[in-house]
Amino acid sequence: MSENGVLCGTFFMNGDVACAEGAISAGCRFFAGYPITPATEVAERMSERLPYVGGVYVQMEDEIASMNAVLGASWTGRKAMTATSGPGFSLMMENLGLGVMLETPCVLANVQRAGPSTGLPTLVGQGDMMQARWGSHGSYEIIALVPSSPQEMFDLTITAFNLSERYRVPVLMMSDEAVGHMSEKVVIPQIAPEELVNRRRPHGGQEQYLPYKPDEDLIPPMAIVGEGYRFHVTGLTHDERGYPAMTAEAQDQLVRRLADKIRLNKKDIIRYEEVEVEDAEVIVCAYGISARIARLAVRQARAEGMRAGLLQLITVWPFAEDRIRELAQQVKAFVVPEINYGQIVLEVERCAAGKANTLLVAHMGGSVHDPQTILQAIKEAVR
Amino acid sequence: MGIKEIRIAGFGGQGVVLSGQIVGQAASIYDDGFSTLTQNYGPEARGGSCTTEVVISDEPIGYPYVQNPGVLIILSQEAYDKYRNGLSSEALMIIDPDMVKPDPSQTPAPLAIPATRMARELGRVVVANIITLGFLVAVSDIVSPEALKNSVLTSVPKGTEEFNAKAFETGYSYGLEQGKRSEVPDG
């Protein structure tokens, strides 16, 4: 451990713990949450660790309050996060929308279990992928990352905070029970200050500052509440001063900007990994734990002489639509294994736009795919 | 070296997951290789069935689950009944004979260590899993005994290191007496 209490070294730890350590390395100093399997270990670790780095952990009465507390903490200048699973994620949806509307940097980790409802509390699912995109009401854009290993839980939590601070938007870590409860070697480097993004601060005088007046990149600089700048937040549609503005024009200006600040920067945001796609005629498009299962299926397919590749999505939102469109020109088909009854496959199909076939390999949750079922789908797809 | 796979199964409260973590950490950190631990348990904190699996390799691990375990540590009859079939003929099974009554026709017969009884005799039944791990590295090469012992000592509560080291040695000596079996087959 380094002097300031931030961890450094090589550890054997589970994904949830790695997520918490990633947050601490990213500068997160506030956590509010309510324990829920399989995300509890994130909260547990934060409750142990935050006091050593000058942070604050609050166990809230529920997930609605947790999300609110995170937004409030962020406005005081702290980097803040919470972690939950399906039922808690549902409760957080309303205030996630508030975070989008108030352009509040924060990170929400969802360690997915199988639903709907209480479902299988201790077992894996990937059924919240569309909820991540559309779960709160209204038109908006969100950023969601999907880790597939404890190391990525660490690394991508730092990325999540950085994107959140850069774009002033809540960022979702859409993990799953398998990755959260899996333990592997995690290398925790010392993170240099310049690797961490901090929200842009007001650059004019206090008199001129308008809290929702964006810079050229559509992102407004953010003052800390109580330091003297004008401060007003409301979930109502608001003008550049932050005051309610109940007109179609104000709505148009604000809601377009909230979406466009993400849409126009998707090249900077979108991340994916490719394995043997160059000559592939079938590409398995997968994310999270399913990508690791798919990797084995792709290797087996290659060993049997099929030209298969893997596109592992690391951001699911915004969706890697340009890349899928490109690949659709080249391949016969995409195979999409997911632990739900078809969510991200709809996006792949939309982008493939009839240029390539799309095959869903659905799994209802409670365990992961048998690699053979993915291999079988690859075989069908090359036929 | 190929991939080595171990499955540890029993019920909640026996230290099943901690045992897996100690083995996984020994492989990843102290033997400087790679390992992936996955676990499976029910909603109950104690008493429900509980399984942990560790895949060990000298390369980063893609597919994280056990496909053909080379070693099994079986700590309940339920786990025995669930996992005894479909094993490769080289798989090494370790049981606690006070917890598991194996099928006499099983070949090769499982190795037995009465770890719960031995732990009680040492004075604390909670170290049964550490005794079993000592036994494990005496009868197999899944991780090195030094790595496992280091991993035990950094995984147990502060102040209990000496007692746990004694538990480890107790199981290790018992294992050496039983005779070192052939190497763990690659999975």
User: B62 to chain A nearest CA, in Å?
Assistant: 6
Over residues A90-101, the mean pLDDT reads 98
CA distance B62 to A310: 13
Of A12, A123, A371, the CB nearest to B24: A12
Query: Does residue B182 carry a pLDDT above 50?
Result: no
pLDDT value at B184 more than 60: no
Is residue A44 less than 8 Å (CB to CB) from chain B? Answer: no
* Residues A182, B34: C-beta atoms closer than 8 Å: no
Measured CA distances, B15 to A180, A228, B47 (Å): 19, 55, 11
Encode pLDDT of B60-79 as tens digits: 998 999 999 999 999 999 99
Q: Which pairing describes strands A9-14 and B111-112: parallel, antiparallel, or unpaired?
A: unpaired
- Interface residues of B toward A, Cβ cutoff 8 Å, are 20-21, 24-25, 28-29, 34-43, 61-65
Report domain A9-195's class.
Answer: alpha beta
A chain contacts of residue B40, beta-carbon cutoff 8 Å: 122-123
Judge whether residue A1 has pLDDT over 70: no
Average pLDDT, chain A: 97
Return the pLDDT at A383.
Answer: 87
pLDDT band at B46 (very low <50, low <70, confident <90, very high): low
Mutate to test the interface with B, among A17, A177, A185 (most CBs of B within 10 A): A185
Q: Flag whether pLDDT at B25 surpasses 50.
A: yes
CATH of domain B4-178: 3.40.920.10
pLDDT at position B179? 63
Is A356 part of the contact surface with chain B (CB cutoff 8 Å)? no
Chain B residues close to A152, C-beta within 8 Å = none
Q: Where in chain A is the domain with CATH 3.40.50.920?
A: 272-382
Inter-chain touch B38–A296, beta carbons under 8 Å: no
Q: Which residues contact B6 (CB under 8 A, 6 or more apart)?
A: B20, B23, B53, B54, B56, B66, B69, B70, B71, B72, B73, B142
Q: Are the C-beta atoms of A111 and A89 separated by less than 8 Å? A: no
pLDDT of residue B187: 47
Q: Which helix (H) or strand (E) holds B147?
A: helix B145-155
pLDDT of residue B180: 52
Two tokens at B94? 């370790």
Enumerate the residues of chain A whose CB falls inside 8 A of the CB of residue B68. none
Non-local (6+) Cβ contacts of A370 within 8 A are none
The pLDDT score that the predictor gives to residue B107 is: 87
Collect all residues of chain B within an 8 Å Cβ-Cβ radius of residue A37. 43
Residue with tokens 């991780």: B143
A121 touches chain B (CB under 8 A): yes
- Inter-chain touch A184–B21, beta carbons under 8 Å: no
Residue A191 CB-density burial (10 A; 0-12 exposed, 13-18 middle, 19+ buried): middle
CATH of A272-382, picked from 3.40.50.920, 1.10.3470.10, 1.10.10.10, 3.30.70.1140, is 3.40.50.920
Confidence of residue B48 (pLDDT cuts 50, 70, 90): confident
State the CB neighbour count (10 A cutoff) for residue A187.
11
Over pLDDT 70: what percentage of chain A?
99
* Residue pLDDT, tens place only, A138-182: 999 999 999 999 999 999 999 999 999 999 999 999 999 999 999
pLDDT at B43: 66
- CA-based nearest residue to A373, from A347, A340, A336: A336
The ranges assigned to domains in chain B are 4-178
Give the residue from A17, A62, A73, A76 showing the smallest Cα distance to A41: A17
A73 pLDDT exceeds 90? yes
Contact A368 B65 (CB under 8 A): yes
β-strand partners of B9: B51, B74
Taking the Cβ of residue A12 and every Cβ of chain B, the question of whether any pair is shorter than 8 Å is answered with yes
B45: pLDDT strictly greater than 90? no
Residues of A with CB below 8 A from B34's CB? 184-185
Please, which pLDDT band fits residue A276 given cuts at 50, 70 and 90?
Answer: very high
Q: Is the pLDDT of residue A55 over 70?
A: yes
Closest CA to A180 of A156, A155, A132, A147: A147
Number of A/B CB contacts below 8 angstroms equals 54
Q: Which residue of A has its CA nearest to B65?
A: A293
Q: Which residues of chain A does CATH 3.40.50.970 include?
A: 9-195
| Portion of chain A with pLDDT greater than 90, in percent | 97
Q: Could you tell me which chain B residue has the CA closest to the CA of A187?
A: B29
The per-residue pLDDT of chain B, averaged, comes to: 91
